[in-house]
């Protein structure tokens, strides 16, 4: 939320400066062409700032997921004979990061699916059902790998081609 607030504040400052500059323009010209051009420039700047903010937000989310250790939690869950105490907090923080991210249109459906799987994993952990927990964490992990390549492409400013890992839900045969 702070990022959006800063973006709006910067945008408003740019708009105010543009109007001030327009007001100080040449008196011989009515300035309508200059104001229109300045507004177009301001809009382009705001669009660039919004996209840059969105790229940063997606990258921060992907970094959070990696730092929280979703891969490791899935690996632990596959071998576990009980639900470990730290899983709930990890899955909750990842769910919050994914749910709080302003995903671009080309990733929003996959992100929504991933978020749903994280909610299911969190609920399974809370229920205490180990079998459901293992399955739900595995599905959430697979959904992460499904969106991961495209998310990093977007964050890098590259063309988003999608193409997540070819994993069956719950398949853990990969190297992170």
Indicate whether 15 pLDDT > 80: no
Domain extent, residue 43, equals 2-155
pLDDT for residue 33? 67
Average pLDDT, the chain: 83
Q: Each residue of 49-78: pLDDT tens digit?
A: 878 899 999 999 999 999 999 999 999 999
Residue at 56 is within a domain = yes
Q: How many domains does the chain have?
A: 1
Are the beta carbons of 71 and 176 closer than 8 angstroms?
A: yes
Residue at 167 is within a domain = no
Residue at 173 is within a domain = no
- pTM of the complete model: 0.73
Residue at 164 is within a domain = no
Say which CATH number the domain at 48 has: 1.20.120
Q: Each residue of 129-172: pLDDT tens digit?
A: 999 999 999 999 999 999 999 999 999 999 998 655 444 444 44
pLDDT band at 40 (very low <50, low <70, confident <90, very high): confident
Q: Each residue of 85-127: pLDDT tens digit?
A: 999 999 999 999 999 999 999 999 999 999 999 999 999 999 9
């Amino acid at each position: 939320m702070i990022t959006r607030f800063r973006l709006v504040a910067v945008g408003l400052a740019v708009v105010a400066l543009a109007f001030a500059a327009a007001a100080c323009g040449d008196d011989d010209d009515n300035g309508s062409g200059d104001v229109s051009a300045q507004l177009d420039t301001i809009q382009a700047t705001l669009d660039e700032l919004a996209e840059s903010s969105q790229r940063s937000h997606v990258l921060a989310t992907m970094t959070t997921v990696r730092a929280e250790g979703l891969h490791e939690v899935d690996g632990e869950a596959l071998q576990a004979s009980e639900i470990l105490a730290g899983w709930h907090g990890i899955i909750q923080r990842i769910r919050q990061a994914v749910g709080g991210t302003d995903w671009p249109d080309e990733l929003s459906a996959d992100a929504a699916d991933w978020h749903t799987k994280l909610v299911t994993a969190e609920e399974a952990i809370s229920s205490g059902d180990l079998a459901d927990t293992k399955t739900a964490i595995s599905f959430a992990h697979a959904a992460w790998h499904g969106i991961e390549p495209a998310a990093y492409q977007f964050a890098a400013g590259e063309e988003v081609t999608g193409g997540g890992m070819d994993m069956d839900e719950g398949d853990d045969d990969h190297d992170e």
